[in-house]
Structure 1
Amino acid sequence: MNLRSIDLNLLVALDALLTERHVTKAADRVGLSQPAMSNALNRLRAMFEDELLVRTTTGMKPTPRANELAEPLRQALRQVERVMVSDAGFDASQSERTFTIRMSDILACLLLPRLAAARPANARISYNTIHLSPSLTVDALERDEIDVAVSMGLEHSASIRSETLLQDRMICLMRRHHPIKRGRLTFESFIAQEQMKVSMSPTDLRFVDDVLAERGQQRRIALNVPHWLVVPHVLKQTDLLAVMPRHLAAVLMDDGLRMEDLPFDSAPFAWMLYWHRRYDQSNANGWLRERITAVCSDLS
């Protein structure tokens, strides 16, 4: 295939199509009309001699060739974007850069309000946040799919840098007028009480459930949910307990809730900032890391 004969704008359209898997949504994503995106898809099919996206009863599905193209295409476009935008001349007040940050909903609750508020006046910088598993987070850093990650305890190679952002520890949250008296949460009452758990939280497993398992005990989980947002609403209406990082509890706290120390030893832990060493000297990535670090310093 001769690169000189290729309209590189088609690759931008292909990335949008593979991401959205919907012609109209892909058109909106890149600012094209629906007919123009349909025309781009037809040209792409001819160029790659493959259907790329096939219409099914459940929507458009990528072909094996399209799945093969998706990751290297995204990396290539990201690198082209970096080439076109001079990092040396990065100016946060003038840049239209979109930074992609991996963080969980816990960390989004803690950091995003302050991070958004700390954007320079009239700035056109934007943030895109995604939530990935630990292993996929490391892969995304290696593949240059994200700028930085905020997480904890990631196992990674020497190509990934890290620094401590915020010290935290696990606590127990319950409704304000819970039958367990204030300051009277014992190990026995903790184990006996029904609890709710956030299934996607590694902190629950590592700093509570594993500790209890070592003592031959386990929590009575009455409710398992995938996200943190619902937790305070459930606690206020029930006698369930929930364990969570103290900094998150401080954000969720209101007059209807109270927090108690766990009645057993649970090691403190640190939220960490991760980035790839290719960006050690990057002005743009360095600016982003400084903003996140400053936000966490305020929380401390």
Structure 2
Amino acid sequence: MDDLARLDLNMLTALRALLEERSVSRAAARLGVGQPAASSALQRLRTHFDDPLLVRSGNTFELSALAASLLGAVEQALATAEEIFLRETRFDPKTSTRTFRIMVADVALVGLGELLIPAMTDAPEVRLDFVALTDAAIRDIEQTLRAVDALVVPRGIIAGFPAMDLWTERWVFMVGERAAVGSRLTKQRLEQMTWITTYHGGTSPVAATFEAWNIRSRIRVTVPSYVVLPMLLASSTEHVAIVQESLARRLEPLGGVRVFPAPPEAADRMVALWWHPTHERDAGHAWLRQRILEVSEDRREGRAGRGRRDPP
């Protein structure tokens, strides 16, 4: 602790700017200081770490091996410091200019966004930054939850972090209207068809369906978005997808696809909002969670598109 007290922790911000920009002049502009000050900071950091940090390569700089290993830790340390010292103990949505980052898959974004966006009229300067959900984000969930304010995924995919139930999502099968499946989609026919999916990890609804029906996996196409699945299926006679019923019912009237119920063994999934424990006492974050909870009740009760309910 004595060693830590002797350090100038302001150098963390300079270190992050230098490592991310890989340029003294760009780092200086980002920090709002002159280039000599940024050069001096780089020299102090080089002395402290006994490492060049930025290594010239032609007309540019590259990170040294040590600098590359430091970058993630520096970002995490500053994120934690900002959470501690810049946390809002009071939050007024009427005057706040805060930006909330929410990571969500496209289909869940439609359901959440159509209710949450109209419900923000009393927060005119608050911004919502929706970030696309990726498989990589799920694999490193600790880092993901530090980088965003909230994450929307079904239960059963992650655990060990604070969460709040939003709504239940039912899954259905979708095929092209030219697919020869008759009036019902049997297990035998499913085993003959190939799958288009957005994700086929062990916790996905596709994997759960394979396990429940003991179907041998025949995934041939993986895409980054649920919304594009119907368009791809419309031109196919041999592909099938399992999608959220809410999406299927919206897109089925456009034509080109048919929707079939999933087997009873394919259980409904509870969609939940997840966040990092460091947000627990954040007044602004608590306001966001309450607002999302309110509009999720609207979705569960079938009031999508009607705007925010009057408070009780």
TM-score strictly above 0.5: yes
CA separation of 1:108 and 1:55: change in aligned 2, threshold 3 A:
farther
Residues of 2 paired with 1:22 and 1:110: CA distance?
A: 43
The gaps in structure 1 that reach 5 residues or longer are none
Residues of 2 paired with 1:13 and 1:119: CA distance?
A: 36
> What displacement does 1:55 show?
5.8
Q: Which residue in the other structure is 2:283 paired with?
A: 283
Q: 1:228 aligns with which of 222, 226, 243?
A: 226
Determine whether 1:129 maps to 2:136.
no
Q: Which residue in the other structure is 1:153 paired with?
A: 156
Residues of 1 paired with 2:268 and 2:4: CA distance?
A: 57
Q: How many residues get paired?
A: 286
> What displacement does 1:237 show?
1.6
Which of 113-122 and 259-268 deviates more?
Answer: 113-122
RMSD, aligned CA: 3.7
CA separation of 1:55 and 1:224: change in aligned 2, threshold 3 A:
farther
Aligned residues of 2:209 and 2:266 also touching (Cα < 8 A): yes
Determine whether 1:246 maps to 2:240.
no
**Deviations 1:229-249, CA, capped at 9 Å, x for gaps:** 432221122122111222343
SS state at 1:243 partner: strand
Q: Which residue in the other structure is 2:254 paired with?
A: 255
> What displacement does 1:54 show?
4.2
SS state at 2:156 partner: coil
TM-score if structure 1 supplies the norm length? Answer: 0.75
Residues of 2 paired with 1:25 and 1:115: CA distance?
A: 38
One-letter identity of the residue aligned with 2:221? L
> What displacement does 1:85 show?
4.0
SS state at 2:234 partner: helix
Residues of 1 paired with 2:233 and 2:258: CA distance?
A: 10
Please list, as runs of the form range in 1=range in 2, the aligned pairs for 1:105-184 lying within 5 A after superposition. Answer: 105-120=106-121, 121-127=123-129, 129=131, 131=133, 132-141=136-145, 144-151=146-153, 152-157=155-160, 160-181=161-182, 183-184=183-184
Report which of the two structures shows the higher radius of gyration computed on alpha carbons. Answer: 2
Residues of 2 paired with 1:16 and 1:251: CA distance?
A: 45
Q: 1:218 aligns with which of 212, 216, 219?
A: 216
**Deviations 1:5-46, CA, capped at 9 Å, x for gaps:** 9593x6445435545668898789x586xxx79767644431
Aligned residues of 2:151 and 2:273 also touching (Cα < 8 A): yes
CA separation of 1:241 and 1:122: change in aligned 2, threshold 3 A:
same
The gaps in structure 2 that reach 5 residues or longer are 301-312
> What displacement does 1:128 show?
5.2
**Deviations 1:77-125, CA, capped at 9 Å, x for gaps:** 3344345545222112222222233333443343345434432352233
Residues of 1 paired with 2:253 and 2:82: CA distance?
A: 44
